[in-house]
A and B are shown apart, each in its own frame.
Chain A
Amino acid sequence: MTSLLNALPGSISQGLIWGIMAIGVYITYRLLDVADLTVDGSFCTGGAMCAVTLANGKDWLAAIFGAETVEAWAAAFNLNIVLLIMALLFALVAGLLAGLSTGLLHTACGIPAILAGILTQLGLWSVNLVSIMGKKATISIAVGKMDLLVAMRYITDVEKGKRWFIQHPIFVAGIITVVIIGLLYWFFGTELGSSIRATGANRAMARAQGINTNRNTVLGLMLSNGLVALSGALLAQYQGFAEINMGRGAIVIGLAAVIIGEVVFGKLFRNFGLKLLAVSIGAVIYYIVIQAVISLSGIDSNYLKLLTAIIVAIFLAVPFWKGKYFSKPVKRGGNANA
């Protein structure tokens, strides 16, 4: 039990980070009504892009602006912050491009969305390994030397008083989540955002109202994968490395978070922003449950994927069974218990 409690801050932090990916999954799965499997690839792309930029960003800057200039910059201000921003930005852009690829395969080439996602995901494996990570399966991040947004080490640092409370991963990941939810809430309330929601809700109606459903599908996929890659970048920072398999099964974790969030908060949260929050909390619940199972049962962590698959299958099946076998009889007459 104590091991569970000790692991709790880590689980919550990880859950919040994966929650950002899950919000990306929510955009495609729920808003756009597209099952996008690009996620497994683009999550790793984001992580790899982040780790590589943090490791080599200074050399890149030196190659562009000259070594002396960059040294002068390093003396004048904290270059690590610049590298961090670059890392996040590159991860985001890479994710957007991954989404663009899937989107174009789907809309311009007429490939079913699920297959288009699988194709991009497959291709991304090589892109991640060769083009981004330089054929190294793992890229580590110098956690001690860099300034990161989140890191596992920061949890103990905060507990020991070496860092401020606001640098605690739960706090930082929480703030990032709230900001992202805020931005998405605004965006999906705009004319463009509404038209993307309409595209997902009813494509025939959207076209009849002059909405370019193909373009919107591409936009939605880009936005989603951008968030997924950003989440991958945060996870790479958190765990201190990026590795080629870090995205494997990400889509399932994302779906788990979406569905857990809906099952737990579906009746309570009606507002769009709250629904996104439910997804994020869904991811946190998922990680706490997984942690609890590992801590309490001592199960081999290699069974984790199987466990995840079973949990998601159950959460997907329950609403279906409920509707099929336990539909409530229609009440007639007055409300006796009103």
Chain B
Amino acid sequence: MLEITNISKTFNPGTVNEKVALNGVSLNLADGDFVTVIGGNGAGKSTLLNAVAGTWPVDEGTITIDGVNVTRMPEHKRAKYIGRVFQDPMLGTAATMQIEENLALAKRRGDRRTLKVGITPAERQEYKEILEELGLGLESRLTAKVGLLSGGQRQALTLLMATLKKPRLLLLDEHTAALDPKTAAKVLEATERIVQKDQLTTLMITHNMKDAIAHGNRLIMMHEGRVAVDVSGEEKKKLTVEDLLQLFEKASGQELANDRMLLA
């Protein structure tokens, strides 16, 4: 499904701020894989997702989705295959536009935008139903501006938008990190439900080890721009936080010193 071969990315090359963010990462996802990604600050998790999404070109390596080489494809064209939820709840939605307008934009991801009407009445009904499923009371506020919603509501809406038109690949970049624990759990629950329902191939970054273990069929841990740990199948099901720490030490030769991950 997704084949990442030996990609590298260095930011600000040749300056004092030079930062090797990805250092020859290779990763293959099978159809329907739900992979959780953990790692310390600056390990390259977000960079990996942005490389796949096409936020900027990679320095080396190739990325193919469904056999299509997308390495040189601009971000907006790649969006045809990819649904995304960002860490920042403000980033995934257009605040000055209505809920239904945001959904209608997402519904047409990857399609040519024509002079046909932006939202059809049939769509409105559909949006009402899926918002009802979400259980946040948004179904009665279709024409409310998204800027009026809370961070959690916006993030849940972004999740809906990312999956409204079934993506080949779903990229979740710490999408619950900015939310309060209760809302985070709710959004995560919705994520699990949607991913299961549509059998979506998913890459989910999280800083919470327990979440990383509880969700998905495969877990990777990144360190210094590489995949340091890769666990899947039965082995992942039996995984505990202690196991993970040991795996990390073995792979990286150092102790994991990241309070945020340990305390979470």
Q: Which residues of A contact B (CB under 8 A)?
A: 187, 189-195, 197-198, 201-202, 204-213
Distance in angstroms between the alpha carbons of A205 and B75 in the assembled complex: 11
19 contacts between A and B (CB under 8 A): A189-B117, A189-B118, A190-B116, A191-B113, A191-B114, A191-B116, A191-B118, A194-B104, A197-B94, A197-B101, A198-B105, A201-B97, A202-B95, A205-B91, A205-B93, A208-B84, A210-B80, A211-B105, A211-B113
Check if A209 sits within 8 Å of B105, measured CB to CB. Answer: yes
Check if A210 sits within 8 Å of B93, measured CB to CB. Answer: no
Closest to B158 in A: A205
With a cutoff of 8 Å between Cβ atoms, the chain A residues found around residue B105 in the complex are 194-195, 198, 206, 209, 211
With a cutoff of 8 Å between Cβ atoms, the chain B residues found around residue A212 in the complex are 74, 76
Is B115 part of the binding interface, using a Cβ–Cβ cutoff of 8 Å?
yes
Main secondary structure of the interface of B (DSSP, over half): loop
Given A193-B118, A210-B76, 20 new contacts (CB under 8 A): A187-B115, A189-B117, A190-B115, A191-B113, A194-B101, A194-B113, A195-B113, A197-B94, A197-B101, A201-B96, A204-B86, A205-B93, A207-B75, A208-B79, A208-B86, A209-B79, A210-B110, A211-B79, A212-B74, A213-B76
With a cutoff of 8 Å between Cβ atoms, the chain A residues found around residue B106 in the complex are 209
With a cutoff of 8 Å between Cβ atoms, the chain B residues found around residue A195 in the complex are 105, 108, 113
Number of B residues contacting the other chain (C-beta, 8 Å)?
Answer: 33
Known: A191-B113, A205-B92. A211 touches B76 (CB 8 A): yes
Is B160 part of the binding interface, using a Cβ–Cβ cutoff of 8 Å?
no
Known: A190-B116, A191-B114, A204-B91. A210 touches B109 (CB 8 A): yes
Closest CB-CB distance, B82 to chain A, in whole Å?
Answer: 8
Check if A194 sits within 8 Å of B109, measured CB to CB. Answer: no
Check if B84 sits within 8 Å of A191, measured CB to CB. Answer: no
Closest CB-CB distance, B167 to chain A, in whole Å?
Answer: 10
Contact of B94 among A191, A193, A205 (CB under 8 A): A205
Closest to A201 in B: B94
Closest to B92 in A: A205
Is B111 part of the binding interface, using a Cβ–Cβ cutoff of 8 Å?
yes
B60-98: CB near A (< 8 Å → 1, else 0) gives 000000000000001111011010101000011111110
Closest CB-CB distance, B88 to chain A, in whole Å?
Answer: 9
Check if B92 sits within 8 Å of A208, measured CB to CB. Answer: yes
Check if A202 sits within 8 Å of B93, measured CB to CB. Answer: yes
Distance in angstroms between the alpha carbons of A208 and B53 in the assembled complex: 8
Is B161 part of the binding interface, using a Cβ–Cβ cutoff of 8 Å?
yes
Closest to A189 in B: B118
Distance in angstroms between the alpha carbons of A198 and B93 in the assembled complex: 9
Distance in angstroms between the alpha carbons of A194 and B117 in the assembled complex: 9
- CB proximity to A under 8 Å, residues B150-203: 161-162
Closest CB-CB distance, A233 to chain B, in whole Å?
Answer: 25
Distance in angstroms between the alpha carbons of A201 and B97 in the assembled complex: 8
Known: A189-B118, A194-B118. A201 touches B95 (CB 8 A): yes
- CB proximity to A under 8 Å, residues B244-259: none
With a cutoff of 8 Å between Cβ atoms, the chain A residues found around residue B53 in the complex are 208
With a cutoff of 8 Å between Cβ atoms, the chain B residues found around residue A198 in the complex are 94, 97, 101, 105
Closest to A215 in B: B76
Distance in angstroms between the alpha carbons of A190 and B119 in the assembled complex: 8
Distance in angstroms between the alpha carbons of A210 and B76 in the assembled complex: 4
Closest to A199 in B: B94
Check if A209 sits within 8 Å of B118, measured CB to CB. Answer: no
Distance in angstroms between the alpha carbons of A207 and B54 in the assembled complex: 10
With a cutoff of 8 Å between Cβ atoms, the chain A residues found around residue B113 in the complex are 190-192, 194-195, 211
Distance in angstroms between the alpha carbons of A213 and B104 in the assembled complex: 17
Check if B94 sits within 8 Å of A192, measured CB to CB. Answer: no
With a cutoff of 8 Å between Cβ atoms, the chain A residues found around residue B104 in the complex are 194
Distance in angstroms between the alpha carbons of A96 and B54 in the assembled complex: 31
Known: A204-B86, A209-B106, A210-B79. A190 touches B117 (CB 8 A): yes
With a cutoff of 8 Å between Cβ atoms, the chain B residues found around residue A192 in the complex are 113-115
